[in-house]
Amino acid sequence: MFTARFELRVPPFADTTHAQLHREYRDMVSWCDDNGIATVIVSEHHGAEDGFMPSPLVLAAAALARTDNITVAVSALLLPLHDPIRVAEDIATIDLMAPGRLSVTMGVGYREFEFDMFAKDRTRRGRDTEEAIELILRCWSGEPFEYQGRTIRVTPKPVTEPHPVLMVGGSVPASARRAARLGLPFSPSTPDQSLADLYYAEAARLGYETPFAIVPDGPSMVMVTEDPERTWAAIERHALYDAALYASWQYDDHHNLTAVDAHDVAGLAASGQWEVLTPEGCAQLVRDKGSAMLHPLAGGIDPAIGWESLELVKHQVMPLLADDPGG
């Protein structure tokens, strides 16, 4: 299985522009749908110097409007920064247009700048997230109800039953417990199996009968090329910028699998999160791990490099896997 991840970041030194990458995103998503890519992943951050995408639901809707088969995963929506009633309306609207093809991981957020920008209290983010998820689920009944002295009604309700796919994100034990309390799948941002174990134990204690946790593994960036040395040279500055900036955003109470502390290409490659592979190497990765996460516009690179990677997946990697008698 292949997924494609997009962040649409443009470093200050890049020759690409945000307008260009947003257009390329639409075209690449359409290509993904035509060529068997299962899922497109978009994320959310605010006020970043490189313009990290701030509106993932808008981008998800654009992707779903251009496609017929893929799912779009928002990983993650930083829920404490949003009006949950408005989020409920937006997700319901997307679900009506593309039933069952949107999944949203609800994150608590972590960057202090973002909470200050939206005048939100970072110390309340866990409680605010849980209350907001409960409110969203209640909104999707389509029936009016009283909330904090107001009458709330979200119409039209989503078509997916019992509701659109929601998951709970996070990287600490409190997140695992929150997911179990809410009776929702758990999608931690860090490859810590103990968090999943805690989630399953808490779900059993609470009588939640269908728990499901997705523990990330990686690599979180796969580029396919016939000449890895050439491609590393072309993307090196972008990759190091991307990795360094994202690593600088991490806090003691938050860690993301994709955050890599590396100072050169060797460090990126050794991290296990950045992989520039030949078609044969990518096919082996899929055999070993069951999937590969393509990142065709990583760090604001020249889109031609990303398109080359995608076409090699189509014309070389997929045939290798199809011809594999054990595949």
- Per-residue pLDDT reduced to its tens digit, 107-157: 999 999 999 999 999 999 999 999 999 999 999 999 999 999 999 999 999
Which tens digits make up the pLDDT trace of 81-117? 999 999 999 999 999 999 999 999 999 999 999 999 9
Mean pLDDT score across all residues of the chain: 95
Name the least confident of 34-38, 100-104, 174-178, 258-262: 258-262
**Model pLDDT, residue 251:** 76
| 252 band by pLDDT with thresholds 50, 70 and 90 | confident
Take residue 324 and report the two structure tokens written for it.
């594999």
pTM: 0.95
d(CA 256, CA 46) in angstroms, rounded, equals 17
Take residue 80 and report the two structure tokens written for it.
């404490």
Take residue 243 and report the two structure tokens written for it.
């990795």
CB 153 within 8 A of CB 146: no
**Model pLDDT, residue 254:** 63
- Residues in contact with 151: Cβ distance below 8 Å, sequence separation at least 6, in sequence order: 144, 145
**Model pLDDT, residue 326:** 55
Percent of the chain with pLDDT over 90: 89
**Model pLDDT, residue 202:** 98
Q: Answer whether residue 255 shows pLDDT above 70.
A: no
Cis peptide leading into 11, omega within 30 of 0?
A: no
Take residue 83 and report the two structure tokens written for it.
């009006």
3-state SS class at 188: strand
How many residues comprise the chain? 327
Percent of the chain with pLDDT over 70: 98
- Residues in contact with 277: Cβ distance below 8 Å, sequence separation at least 6, in sequence order: 222, 223, 224, 225, 228, 285
Query: What are phi and psi for residue 168, nearest 5 degrees?
Result: -105, 125
Take residue 110 and report the two structure tokens written for it.
């972590």
Q: Answer whether residue 315 shows pLDDT above 80.
A: yes
Dihedral sign, CA of 234, 305, 58, 161?
negative
First-to-last CA distance in the chain? 11
Q: Answer whether residue 160 shows pLDDT above 60.
A: yes
**Model pLDDT, residue 247:** 86
d(CA 111, CA 254) in angstroms, rounded, equals 9
**Model pLDDT, residue 258:** 72
Residue keyed to tokens 């999160």: 273
d(CA 61, CA 66) in angstroms, rounded, equals 9
Give domain 40-170's CATH number out of 1.10.8.60, 3.40.640.10, 3.20.20.30, 3.40.50.410.
3.20.20.30
Q: Exposed (0-12), middle (13-18) or buried (19+): which is 138, by Cβ within 10 Å?
A: middle
CB 200 within 8 A of CB 228: no
User: Which part of the chain has CATH 3.20.20.30?
Assistant: 40-170
d(CA 193, CA 177) in angstroms, rounded, equals 14
Please state the rounded mean pLDDT for residues 53-62: 98
d(CA 51, CA 262) in angstroms, rounded, equals 22
Please state the rounded mean pLDDT for residues 319-327: 80
Which tens digits make up the pLDDT trace of 257-313? 777 888 898 999 999 899 999 999 999 999 999 999 999 999 999 999 999 999 999
